[in-house]
Amino acid sequence: MKLVKSLAPSRIIRLGIVLFVCLAPLPKAGAEDLYLISKLIWGTNDEKVSDPSLKAMEPAMEKKFQNVFKWKHYYQVTRKDVMIPSRSTRQIPMSKRCTIEITELEGPKVEVKLIGEGKPLHKIIKPLSKGEYFTIAGGDKDETAWFILISQVDLKDFKGEVIPKSQLPIAKTGK
């Protein structure tokens, strides 16, 4: 008859230490730096715009906007490629009057605060994965409207600056 050695308490402790040392450095599931493109979009029914800095929206995306919103033409006012470090928040000025504050949350989700002229307008939490996007509608007046389009991209498609977390400014909340 074979004798089976039992695990002595010292072996169990050593095994626990080895597992802790090996598994402790692993990142939490879903926690990752986000590489985002945020665009300020202007919608109008005007055939021509007087501002030459406005860039016509990509035809496929413009078609999607036309299917959802009432305006005929959509123009990109600004584009910001921004890196959001894991579980961090960044403020991104989109124009003189519009700022967004993006926080990477567990999920994968993001919280976006839309700030217009220094005042909080909207706060939403949305799931966001690579290749996906969502739109936040701003205000509409004078037969025009503005939107924020946010998409997540791979690092290889990212054109912005990757900022070390230690050098990030602390975001001021719109509260």
37-82 per-position pLDDT tens digit: 999 999 999 888 888 899 999 999 999 999 999 999 999 999 999 9
Q: Is the full-model pTM beyond 0.75?
A: no
Cα–Cα distances (Å) from 49 to 39, 56, 69, 73, 97, in that order, read 18, 10, 19, 10, 20
Mean per-residue pLDDT of the chain: 80
pLDDT at 171 over 90: no
Are 158 and 80 spatial neighbours (Cβ–Cβ below 8 Å)?
Answer: no
Asked whether residue 32 carries a pLDDT value surpassing 60, the answer given is yes
> Which is higher by pLDDT, 170 or 59?
59
* pLDDT recorded at residue 108: 81
Residue 22 clears pLDDT 90, i.e. is over it: no
Q: Can you tell me whether residue 50 is helix, strand or coil?
A: coil
Structural element, H or E, at residue 62: helix 59-68
Q: Residue 145: pLDDT above 50? A: yes
Which tens digits make up the pLDDT trace of 93-133? Answer: 999 999 999 999 987 899 999 998 889 999 999 999 888 99
Q: Collapsing DSSP states into helix, strand and coil, what is residue 12?
A: helix
CA-to-CA separations, 38 to 18, 19, 86, 101, 142, in angstroms, rounded: 44, 41, 18, 11, 24
With a pLDDT cut of 90, the percent of the chain lying above it is 48
Q: How does residue 27 score in pLDDT terms, banded at 50, 70 and 90? A: very low
Task: Return d(Cα 57, Cα 39) in angstroms, integer.
Answer: 10
Lowest mean pLDDT among 87-96, 142-151, 158-167: 158-167
